[in-house]
Amino acid sequence: MLPRRELLEGSRHPEDLERLLVLAETALRTWEPQASGFLAGAVREEAETRLGGLSELTLASEGGHPAAERRCLLLARAGAEPAVPALMGLEISGNFLFDPATAADMVEGLARAGAGEGERGDLWLRGDRGAQAIVTAALAARLDGIEGMVRTVPVRFEARPIDELQLPAQRKPRLLTTVEASLRLDALASAGFGLSRNRMAALIRQGVVRIDWKVVTSPSRELAVGSRIQLVDRGELVLLAIDPTKRERFRIRMERH
């Protein structure tokens, strides 16, 4: 048995981690590889950190494409082949020209159609035509060809092989340097993501910006070295260094993923 108390102590996601520990113990006891449902990035990263030091357990993850944030965690006894989950693409088609939808609206529409949290991987918008997502093969089969609603817009769900999707562009890590008058979230994020400060402040208030996976709605939140800023559909910034200048400003080095 795994040392559950030690592994769970101080966890930010104890219920999720508890379920993953059950899978890990099953994999170790039966020699049958196990796969979780889709996990939020914060949950998966914590699980990988806490379980990664167990020599008898092998961890991997799969999200349908290399840069996927939401991924299934694959757990196997060391030496065993991991279980590869069956994943599919899902097209969500509708006319959003007069009622634009956010990614959160699309997720809500999927939930109303019967999609469980663990059945849904990454989702991205396709302008006013709808969205695409990576989901479990079982969910794709259930929703294929049926109709639903997103906001006020009728949509149609269609299963697609993942290689037929227009996947989000993979970003190579980029080092950035900027000089700012403050360490406010809106200032640093606007410089890092290449958006105006007003636009970035609006996005922060909408709840689509996270710091270390936690949603932050205050543009004035101050950042520190090591902070990770996630913006939906635009990747992640990592603050590498903050150095005061002679003119009472800050020279900031960041890496964008």
pLDDT tens readout for residues 163-214: 999 998 777 899 999 999 999 999 999 999 999 999 999 999 998 899 999 9
Predicted structure pTM score: 0.85
pLDDT tens readout for residues 6-50: 999 999 999 999 999 999 999 999 999 999 999 999 999 999 999
CATH architecture of 87-164: 2-Layer Sandwich (3.30)
Homologous superfamily of 174-256 in CATH? RNA-binding S4 domain (3.10.290.10)
pLDDT at 233 over 80: no
CA distances from 242 to 18, 161, 177, 253, 255 (A): 37, 44, 10, 7, 13
Q: What is the mean pLDDT of residues 141-151?
A: 97
Question: In the chain, where are the structural domains located?
Answer: 4-77, 87-164, 174-256
What pLDDT does 171 receive? 77
pLDDT tens readout for residues 110-138: 999 999 999 999 999 999 999 999 999 99
**Lowest mean pLDDT segment, chosen from 17-21, 101-105, 219-223, 251-255:** 101-105
Q: What is the mean pLDDT of residues 224-234?
A: 90
In this structure, what token pair is assigned to residue 68? 């996927």
**Class at the top of the CATH hierarchy for domain 4-77:** alpha beta
Q: Is 249 helix (H, G, I), strand (E, B) or coil?
A: coil
CA distances from 50 to 8, 23, 84 (A): 8, 14, 22
pLDDT at 161 over 80: yes
pLDDT tens readout for residues 77-86: 998 888 889 9
Element (H, E) at 158: strand 153-160
Neighbouring CB atoms inside 10 A of 95's CB total 12
Q: Which band of pLDDT confidence, cut at 50, 70 and 90, is reported for residue 245?
A: very high
Query: Residues 40, 122: contact at Cβ < 8 Å?
Result: no
Q: How far apart are CA 188 and CA 107, in angstroms?
A: 28
The residue written with tokens 């102590």 in the block is: 9
Instruction: Read off the DSSP letter of residue 233.
Output: T
Average of per-residue pLDDT values in the chain: 94
Q: Which band of pLDDT confidence, cut at 50, 70 and 90, is reported for residue 244?
A: very high
What pLDDT does 82 receive? 87
